[in-house]
Amino acid sequence: QTLRIYVAAPELWWDICDEDWGFAYHLERWFHRLLLEHLPAVVTASPDEADFVYIPHCAMNIYLSWKQARHRQASSPEAPEHGEGDQLHSAVLRDVDEKYLTAVVAPAAQQNAAARACVARTPRCRLLFVNMAFGRNELPSFTAAVGDAAVFVTTAGASPRLQGKAWRQASLQGTQWRAQCSCRSHCQPVLSLGPLDIVVPFNTGHNSTSGLTGLGGRRPLLAFFAGSNTSCSRDELVRRWSEEAALREHGVFVSGRSLKEPAFHRMARRSVFCLVPDGHWPATQRLASVVAKGCVPVVVSNRVELPWDDLVDWRQASLWLPESTIRELPEVLRRIGRQEIQSLQAHLPLLAEALDYHSTRFHLLLLASLAARRNTPPEGAL
Q: Return the CATH number of 206-356, one of 3.40.630.40, 3.10.180.10, 3.40.50.2300, 3.40.50.2000.
A: 3.40.50.2000
Indicate if the pLDDT at residue 340 is higher than 90: yes
pTM to 2 decimal places? 0.87
Tell me if 283 sits within 8 A of 202, measured CB to CB. Answer: yes
Lowest-pLDDT range of 160-174, 175-189, 224-238: 160-174
| Dihedral-angle region of residue 22 (phi above 0 means left; psi in -120 to 50 means alpha; beta otherwise) | left
Confidence of residue 81 (pLDDT cuts 50, 70, 90): low
Tell me if 55 sits within 8 A of 127, measured CB to CB. Answer: yes
Lowest-pLDDT range of 31-40, 65-74, 83-92, 301-310: 83-92
pLDDT in the model for residue 335: 94
Pairwise CA distance, residues 366 & 105, whole Å: 23
Beta-carbon count within 10 A of 25 CB: 21
Confidence of residue 48 (pLDDT cuts 50, 70, 90): very high
Give mean pLDDT, residues 118-141. 92
Lowest-pLDDT range of 163-167, 193-197, 300-304: 163-167
Give mean pLDDT, residues 329-352. 95
What residue spans in the chain does CATH classification 3.40.50.2000 cover?
206-356
